[in-house]
Amino acid sequence: MKDRAVPARTSTPEARASGVRPWHGYGLGLRTEHFDSVLDENPAVDWFEIISENFMVAGGKPRHYLDRIRARYPLAMHGVSLSIGSSDPFDSGYLRQLKQLVREVDPIWVSDHLCWTGNGGINSHDLLPLPYTEEAIVHVTSRIGEVQDFLGRELLIENVSTYVSFANAEMDEAAFLSEIVRRSGCRILLDVNNVYVGSRNHGFDADAYVAALPAERIWQIHLAGHSDYGDYVIDTHDHPVCEAVWELYARTLERLGPVTTMIERDDAIPPLADLVAELGRARRIGSATRRLQPVDCA
Amino acid sequence: MMRLDALERRFLAHVRGGQVFPREWCAQGLVDSDIGLAIYTNAYASRLREALEADHPLLALYLGDRLWAELCAGYIEAHPSRVRSLRHFGQHVPLWLAGNKPFSDHPAIAQLAAFERELLDVFDAADAARVDWSVMQAFDAAAWPGVRLRFHPSVRLLATTTNAVAIWRALKDGQSPPEAQPSTTPAHLLWRDVDRVSRFRAVDEVELLALRSFHSDRQDFAIVCERLARIRPANEVPALALGILRQWFEEGLIASAASDDSAGST
Ligand SMILES: [Fe+2]
């Protein structure tokens, strides 16, 4: 592949205020349902995030569209199968495929989740919770290092939604993530919806969670919808972003300054134009952030 | 205190509906740990069922809710995922159906599943350039017997002993499917055309023999004609073989042609 799209918007107020973080603007998750709309409508989206595994195929339509969309928009690669926290050895075939795709896509960055997906060679295809222990920190840190060495680039690691916490926890989730980031040198993909879901399910303070993370390492934000069952909340990505998450997003940007942001939608997928409109709200919140004022950037 | 590997092993066993996860290993948060664990167990089963349904929409329709649920539960139990992408989770479905009652009593069911899986493989098989008939015309007469063909990577050949494809077609068109019965054609050919549209058609026994010889056995033109002469009068074989070949080129099935007996290869 060639003719990779170059990141635009390097001279916006957000770009000037983003500091050490690279600024790529406001993106969407690229979904099969929208392949044709992206090419036909040229939507006002700054970049797209692809699910890496969806393009680990030999050819046909997925690769055809990837090639063309990549020529117009910067792409980030987001994986769901790295299983960074698994006690199984890495799947070397998967890592090779990932590296090959990185070579072909030349993404703005590569991310996966702070979780494990399988054990004993069996894949749950879910993002399963880790115990917040020193043992897990050591394990995950060394595995992130292995992947970063293999890919020759730093990973972004995303906080996931969890529904169970473990009795042997030695710290809270934010401390666990922060320590892994500190030791491994990786960046953070902060899923604001997952912070909200976690705060509801586990009873922690969402703002304190964000405040506890190393701000300069937060390179990307995910926004998404969830299903609220009253007593608990499930991260389903089948609804628009809810009010409470928008508010948390706004407070997060006040704290962090501009962070490259995207909306994830994986189910009950509406027309692309609806998601572009929803993304407009993120843009408005971003450009209204006080941290865009030079005086606040020191 | 449990170690990470023990925790993961026990947690996954619980998620898969096996040995329960020790409740004393859970911290009691706002959400009861029974509910928390159930969220994972439900998500596991429904995600895998959805993957199977995405791959086999018409099989699901054909079987109806009760048998479909039985298939999903049985398959998920027998073949937990060992793959990184859900795209391949259902790869053993046709074989599982062929070996498990009540599905195995009706071979059209496994063949319908096999047809849907071949369509998936056709959809995202590797890309390759295709050549047209002029490539064959460029060979001189002496080179023809040694001609071998390389097919487009999307080309698949599916043996069908039942009318599973006709059942698929009817379901796809929203009609009630025909009664399952023995097939009138021995196989189906599937491929992706130049516009990336998946195509399929029935092949008769003559074309099937030519396909097996050229495609599966990688034989040359002379051997293929020899084999065809066993089931058709020898004097009809050249014209028959030429007709079949031309159709393959026109359909975009051929990625390259080369002759052992000539430098004039492509
Ligand atoms: Fe996310």
* ipTM, two decimals: 0.92
User: Of B230, B258, B39, which Cα lies nearest the Cα of A197?
Assistant: B39
B78 touches chain A (CB under 8 A): no
Q: Per-residue pLDDT averaged across A148-154, rounded?
A: 96
Amino acid (one-letter) located at A124? S
Q: How confident is the model at residue A297 (pLDDT cuts 50, 70, 90)?
A: very low
Is there a contact between B48 and A125 if contact means CB atoms under 8 Å apart?
yes
pLDDT of residue B265: 43
pLDDT of residue A7: 58
Q: Which of B8, B155, B191 to probe by mutation at the A interface, max A CB count within 10 Å?
A: B8
Given CA atoms B5, A98, A179, A192 in this order, what sign does their dihedral have? Answer: negative
B142 touches chain A (CB under 8 A): no
How many C-beta atoms lie closer than 10 Å to residue A231's C-beta? 11
Is there a contact between A163 and B36 if contact means CB atoms under 8 Å apart?
yes
For residue A113, report the distance from its CA to the centre of ligand 1, in Å. Answer: 8
For residue A263, report the distance from its CA to the centre of ligand 1, in Å. Answer: 9
Q: Is the pLDDT of residue A248 over 50?
A: yes
Asked whether the beta carbons of A234 and A226 are under 8 A apart, the reply is yes
Is there a contact between A58 and B124 if contact means CB atoms under 8 Å apart?
yes
CA dist B128 → A70, A105, B151, B153, B219 (Å): 20, 20, 9, 7, 21
Name the residue range of residue B147's domain: 127-266
Distance CA(A8)–CA(A253), nearest Å, equals 21
- B244: its two tokens: 């079949």
In a domain, B107, yes or no: no
pLDDT of residue A174: 97
In a domain, B122, yes or no: no
pLDDT of residue A6: 61
Amino acid (one-letter) located at B70? E
Given CA atoms A248, A250, A254, A256 in this order, what sign does their dihedral have? Answer: positive
Is there a contact between B44 and A123 if contact means CB atoms under 8 Å apart?
no
Domains and CATH numbers, chain A: 23-288 (3.20.20.150)
Q: Per-residue pLDDT averaged across B74-100, rounded?
A: 96
Q: Per-residue pLDDT averaged across A250-262, rounded?
A: 95
pLDDT of residue A11: 64
* Cis preceding-peptide flag for B102 (omega within 30 of 0): yes
- A33: its two tokens: 């349902």
Residues that place a CB less than 5 A from ion ligand 1: A 191, 222
Angle between helices B4-15 and A134-151 (to 10 degrees): 90
Q: Per-residue pLDDT averaged across B127-143, rounded?
A: 94
Closest-CA distance of chain B to residue A59, Å: 4
| Cα A1 from chain centroid (whole Å) | 24
Strands A155-158 and A110-113: parallel
CB-nearest to B5 from A64, A87, A165 is A87
Counting one residue from A and one from B, how many pairs have CB atoms under 8 Å apart? 146
User: Of A139, A56, A69, which Cα lies nearest the Cα of A103?
Assistant: A56
Q: How confident is the model at residue B261 (pLDDT cuts 50, 70, 90)?
A: low
CA dist B232 → A137, B207, B239 (Å): 71, 12, 11
User: Of B241, B243, B108, which Cα lies nearest the Cα of B163?
Assistant: B108
In a domain, B91, yes or no: no
Provide the 8-state DSSP code for A34.
G
Distance CA(B76)–CA(B54), nearest Å, equals 15
Distance CA(B137)–CA(B158), nearest Å, equals 30
Q: Which residue has the tokens 């698994």?
A: A86
Under 8 Å CB-to-CB from A270, ≥6 apart: which residues? none
CB-nearest to B124 from A60, A121, A169 is A60
In a domain, B235, yes or no: yes
- pTM here is 0.91
Distance CA(A115)–CA(A81), nearest Å, equals 10
Q: Which residues pair with A76 in a beta bridge?
A: A49
Is there a contact between B39 and A234 if contact means CB atoms under 8 Å apart?
yes
CA angle A132–B9–A231, rounded 5-degree value: 55
Is there a contact between A201 and B31 if contact means CB atoms under 8 Å apart?
yes
- B245: its two tokens: 């070949």
- A66: its two tokens: 């990837």
pLDDT digits (tens, 9 = 90+) for B13-55: 999 999 999 999 999 878 889 999 999 999 999 999 999 999 9
Asked whether the beta carbons of A278 and A243 are under 8 A apart, the reply is no
In a domain, B87, yes or no: no
Provide the 8-state DSSP code for A217.
G
Question: Which H or E run includes A241?
Answer: none
> Quick one: closest CA in B to A93, which residue?
B84
In a domain, B139, yes or no: yes
In our burial notation (b when 16+ CB lie closer than 10 A, e otherwise), range B139-163 reads beeebbbbbbbbbbbbbbbbebebb
A47 φ/ψ angles, rounded to the nearest 5 degrees: -165, 165
| Cα B180 from chain centroid (whole Å) | 20
Number of domains in chain B: 1
pLDDT digits (tens, 9 = 90+) for A188-199: 999 999 999 999
In a domain, B186, yes or no: yes
pLDDT digits (tens, 9 = 90+) for A3-46: 666 655 556 777 777 777 899 999 999 999 999 999 999 999 99
How many C-beta atoms lie closer than 10 Å to residue A11's C-beta? 8
Closest-CA distance of chain B to residue A162, Å: 8
Q: Which residues of B touch A64 (CB under 8 A)?
A: 127, 196
Q: How confident is the model at residue B266 (pLDDT cuts 50, 70, 90)?
A: very low
In a domain, B18, yes or no: no
Q: Which residue has the tokens 């195509």?
A: B199
CB-nearest to A119 from B12, B43, B125 is B12
Asked whether the beta carbons of B117 and A157 are under 8 A apart, the reply is no
